[in-house]
Structure 1
Amino acid sequence: MVGKDPGLRISGLQVPSGPQRALIIASFVSRVGNGLFNTAAVLYFTLVVHLPAAEVGVGLTIAGLTGLLAGIPAGNLADRYGPRTVWLTTLAMQAATMAAFVVIHSWVAFTLIATLDRLAATASGAAGGALIARASGERPAAFRARLRTFVNLGVVLGTLGAAFALSANTRPAYTVLILANAASFACAALIVLAGVPNYQPLPRPEEHHRWAVLSDRPFVSFVALYGAMGLQYQTVSLLLPIWLSAHTNAPRWTVAAVYAVNSGVCVLLQSRIGSRVETPRQGGRAFRLAGLLFLVSCPLMALTADVPVWTAPGLAVLAVSVHSLGEVWESSAGFALGFGLAPDHAQGQYQGLFGIGFDAGQALAPVILTTAVLGLGHAGWLLLGAFFAAVGAAGPPVAAWAERTAARASYGRPNEARCSAPPGFRESQTS
């Protein structure tokens, strides 16, 4: 019984037992590696490999756009052959491509390896999402919220660890970071292999096809909304640091402070809030609330340019605290709707499209935020907040639309063809 096993506790955070524990530990390990590498990646490619920054940007753009192509095909493979097999394959590919970065010497090799890495990462998101859906148990929202808490914690610890390589600024130091990230993928794969059952594919209705998700208009609409709302992540990681450095008198350490506050709020509140957002209807309301919180945080960020130097850091921390609370509600909505609107037999395909939408939004975010928002100054911040509020307001109607569409589809099929489980239930048959 779930209530009889307290599971493992790490720093006060409860980790459930069984497959859920394995998935949380595997995700935590791989995200520590991501934090190690992502913090120093650009510096490695420019200062150690000696690629011009512009060429690195072009290569990463090519890799990012090409990587989007793997989402739905990988999801289909996960639905057809089982998500664990596909996810293990993608983790092995990521370990190999990451290790290959230590031997590149040209832009062509860099772009090729980066592209293969992004293809594997996108495929991993689709298959991993399908595996999470199958292992979610009786309280899927609570599990997913706890999973994201440990993912955030892993990134924070990896980022702190990368500081040693950045201070050394030598090729061996960067090489250690890259190989550690490669090892994290290999370790995650071993943990999943040992601790997660090989869930068998679920039976599919006759009308199912490889691109069925694209005909699910409510889900496609939500993916578009979530991709647009994803601009909020780079509002903190990209836009605000530039604003604080170029438009305010805030001390340089303010940038580090807002990063720490953002990470801390997400780690501390994700499980508590996310466990309360279970159904698509609750997800729609959470999405709306997130937009309203961003509507408050964006003007506060703009005001940091208009206050004395001793006030700017405090105002920036307040703004990021509000924004981070919105991030927690937004990610909780993404879990509830991204998983809850997908039929169980096609979770891989749906998670593939969900990842494509999010990644596309992240690819466009730097251009939008640095040109439209920074170019307009204070007015740009106000428009950005209004944009988030408008996108969030669409959450409840889209969730209601999706539920109506699912109900009509269910009534149109005979009982034996209804493959989707009721909300909160995940079949757990293993081989």
Structure 2
Amino acid sequence: MIGNDVGHRKPEVPAPSGPQRALIAASFVSRVGNGLFNTAAVLYFTLVVHLPAAQVGAGLTIAGLTGLLAGIPAGNLADRYGPRTVWLTSLAAQAVTMAAFVLIQSWVTFTVVATLDRLAATASGAAGGALIARAGGERPAAFRARLRTFVNLGVVLGTVGAAFAVSAGTRPAYTALILANAASFACAALIGLTRVPDYRPLPRPEEHHRGTVLSDRPFLTFAALYGAMGLQYQTVSLLLPIWLSARTDAPRWTVAAVYAVNSGVCVLLQSRIGSRVETPRQGGRAFRLAGLLFLVSCPLMALTADVPSWTAPALAVLAVCVHSLGEVWESSAGFALGFGLAPDHAQGQYQGLFGVCFDAGQALAPVILTTAVLGLGHAGWLLLGAFFAALGAAGPPVAAWAERARSAGRGRAGATDGRPGEAAVPDPA
């Protein structure tokens, strides 16, 4: 079991430090804004700006793919000049680009603004990941789990708030959402400027270069696995709602119930479970467990089309409970391996690549899920569950491979720290 390796560790979860509280607060504020905007974005672009849905989709695709280019360069800048500077700059850029959405009138300007926004968001993710690593403290897993809990909670609150604007359906209401999201980035930057230390860059070994992460095969392998496993997020947010609407007689409120259950399970369990997944080895096991839970949840989702309308909501909620539990284990594994396998001096570069792989998976997810799974029906769901299970099964051997490679590297470098996956806690500047 996951918890076996931590049986001798102190069970209590330490209170967050000042920098940790600041990062939690900044992330929470910005995610409330994300929840406000993301819920209503497509409606704003199509119903208010009057862009055709196809053009909106094309613009977002261009923006998403172009945004991937910022990951590693922004991470390198964070490693070289300090993560806070790059993070604050990218948050400021996001505040500006988000506010600019209220001014767009054509597809060209929409695509340009969306692309700049995605570039800034990718840079923010890379630098923010490096900051999270630097502020990790003695129990980095507990901090990361608490951080993700508040991130999930922020999105939920933002989504609830957006419902009022969507129900109003007026341009002023949508404009208020967009400007509120822009303000959330500005507030997050202000919190970071005043309460997050300006960590000094860590010394880098002579063999380090701007593309070091690209030669780290174990990390590349896990990043690719995690990006592919990321299809599970849109399984709940995209695939299941379409399935419930098109293939079942479930009441319309079932989709809302699915979202609520997914969010609730993640908020309630993330800190409890995630704080137990600290080392890369534990992360590998958590990744495997997540795959097995998805293997169970996907067929349950498929079965909603084969039961009476009064049973379908209960079955969908059960499936989402199982799936959400898998999501908690999967995200915990991503934290443990994504941070634990990265060298302390190159967290920005590594988090940049990790984010690129995840974002690439999210960009491809709609096409894969709607064509392959919906096209094949029940068989598609079974194949999707098996796909997740196969990805999860690769977690433990990849973690072991990475730890062997790092042990060999420390031996060659004469390093003194013999505990893999532990990030040093540097002094703030």
Tell me which interval the TM-score lies in, with the shorter structure as reference length.
over 0.9
What is the match of residue 310 of structure 2? 310
What is the match of residue 425 of structure 2? 427
Alpha-carbon separation, structure 2, partners of 1:194 and 1:233 = 34
In the TM superposition, what is the alpha-carbon distance from 1:304 to its structure 2 partner? 0.3
2:122 equivalent to 1:129: no
Letter in 2 for 1:171: R
State whether residues 273 and 329 of structure 1, in contact with CA within 8 Å, keep that contact through their aligned partners in structure 2. yes
Q: 1:4 to 1:218 in 2, by over 3 A?
A: closer
Q: 1:423 to 1:223 in 2, by over 3 A?
A: closer
State whether residues 205 and 419 of structure 1, in contact with CA within 8 Å, keep that contact through their aligned partners in structure 2. no
Task: List alignment gaps of at least 5 residues for structure 1.
Answer: 8-15
Letter in 2 for 1:408: A
What is the match of residue 276 of structure 1? 276
Map of 1:26-37 to 2, 5 A cutoff? 26-37=26-37
2:41 equivalent to 1:41: yes
What is the match of residue 406 of structure 2? 406
In the TM superposition, what is the alpha-carbon distance from 1:423 to its structure 2 partner? 3.9
* CA displacement, residues 233-277 of structure 1 (integer Å, 9 cap, x when unaligned): 000000000000000010000000000000000000000000000
* CA displacement, residues 289-326 of structure 1 (integer Å, 9 cap, x when unaligned): 00000000000000000001110000000000000000
In the TM superposition, what is the alpha-carbon distance from 1:426 to its structure 2 partner? 2.7
Aligned-pair identity (%): 85
What is the match of residue 4 of structure 2? none
Letter in 1 for 2:427: Q
What is the match of residue 242 of structure 2? 242
What is the match of residue 13 of structure 1? none
In the TM superposition, what is the alpha-carbon distance from 1:174 to its structure 2 partner? 0.3
In the TM superposition, what is the alpha-carbon distance from 1:216 to its structure 2 partner? 0.1
Alpha-carbon separation, structure 2, partners of 1:69 and 1:309 = 46
Alpha-carbon separation, structure 2, partners of 1:421 and 1:87 = 29
State whether residues 138 and 426 of structure 1, in contact with CA within 8 Å, keep that contact through their aligned partners in structure 2. no
In the TM superposition, what is the alpha-carbon distance from 1:429 to its structure 2 partner? 1.2
What is the match of residue 97 of structure 1? 97
What is the match of residue 206 of structure 2? 206
What is the match of residue 82 of structure 2? 82
Secondary structure at the aligned position of 1:204 is classed as: coil
State whether residues 287 and 392 of structure 1, in contact with CA within 8 Å, keep that contact through their aligned partners in structure 2. yes
Letter in 2 for 1:164: F
* CA displacement, residues 202-250 of structure 1 (integer Å, 9 cap, x when unaligned): 0000000000000000000001100110000000000000000000010
Q: 1:420 to 1:36 in 2, by over 3 A?
A: farther
Alpha-carbon separation, structure 1, partners of 2:160 and 2:13 = 33
In the TM superposition, what is the alpha-carbon distance from 1:327 to its structure 2 partner? 0.1
Letter in 2 for 1:218: P
Alpha-carbon separation, structure 1, partners of 2:184 and 2:363 = 25
* CA displacement, residues 103-162 of structure 1 (integer Å, 9 cap, x when unaligned): 010100000000000000000000000000000100000000000000000000000000
What is the match of residue 23 of structure 1? 23
Alpha-carbon separation, structure 2, partners of 1:215 and 1:143 = 29
Alpha-carbon separation, structure 2, partners of 1:26 and 1:209 = 31
What is the match of residue 287 of structure 2? 287
State whether residues 345 and 419 of structure 1, in contact with CA within 8 Å, keep that contact through their aligned partners in structure 2. no
Secondary structure at the aligned position of 1:412 is classed as: helix
Task: List alignment gaps of at least 5 residues for structure 2.
Answer: 1-9
Secondary structure at the aligned position of 2:413 is classed as: coil
State whether residues 204 and 419 of structure 1, in contact with CA within 8 Å, keep that contact through their aligned partners in structure 2. no
In the TM superposition, what is the alpha-carbon distance from 1:419 to its structure 2 partner? 8.9
Letter in 1 for 2:353: L
Alpha-carbon separation, structure 1, partners of 2:424 and 2:309 = 53
What is the match of residue 217 of structure 2? 217
State whether residues 345 and 420 of structure 1, in contact with CA within 8 Å, keep that contact through their aligned partners in structure 2. no
Letter in 2 for 1:291: G
Q: 1:160 to 1:419 in 2, by over 3 A?
A: same
State whether residues 32 and 184 of structure 1, in contact with CA within 8 Å, keep that contact through their aligned partners in structure 2. yes
State whether residues 343 and 419 of structure 1, in contact with CA within 8 Å, keep that contact through their aligned partners in structure 2. no
State whether residues 141 and 275 of structure 2, in contact with CA within 8 Å, keep that contact through their aligned partners in structure 1. yes
2:377 equivalent to 1:363: no
* CA displacement, residues 142-199 of structure 1 (integer Å, 9 cap, x when unaligned): 0000000000000000000001100110100000000000000000000011111000
State whether residues 137 and 424 of structure 1, in contact with CA within 8 Å, keep that contact through their aligned partners in structure 2. no
Superposition TM-score, scaled by structure 1 size: 0.95
In the TM superposition, what is the alpha-carbon distance from 1:424 to its structure 2 partner? 3.6
Alpha-carbon separation, structure 2, partners of 1:233 and 1:362 = 8
* CA displacement, residues 50-73 of structure 1 (integer Å, 9 cap, x when unaligned): 100000000000000000000000
* CA displacement, residues 325-380 of structure 1 (integer Å, 9 cap, x when unaligned): 00000000000000000000000000000000000000000000000000000000
Letter in 2 for 1:397: P
Secondary structure at the aligned position of 1:161 is classed as: helix
Secondary structure at the aligned position of 1:368 is classed as: helix
In the TM superposition, what is the alpha-carbon distance from 1:425 to its structure 2 partner? 4.4
Q: 1:430 to 1:420 in 2, by over 3 A?
A: farther
Alpha-carbon separation, structure 1, partners of 2:13 and 2:62 = 47
Q: 1:292 to 1:56 in 2, by over 3 A?
A: same
Alpha-carbon separation, structure 1, partners of 2:421 and 2:59 = 42
In the TM superposition, what is the alpha-carbon distance from 1:17 to its structure 2 partner? 3.5
What is the match of residue 12 of structure 1? none
State whether residues 344 and 421 of structure 1, in contact with CA within 8 Å, keep that contact through their aligned partners in structure 2. no
State whether residues 68 and 122 of structure 1, in contact with CA within 8 Å, keep that contact through their aligned partners in structure 2. yes
Q: How many residues align?
A: 420
State whether residues 280 and 421 of structure 2, in contact with CA within 8 Å, keep that contact through their aligned partners in structure 1. no
2:293 equivalent to 1:296: no
Superposition TM-score, scaled by structure 2 size: 0.96
What is the match of residue 10 of structure 1? none
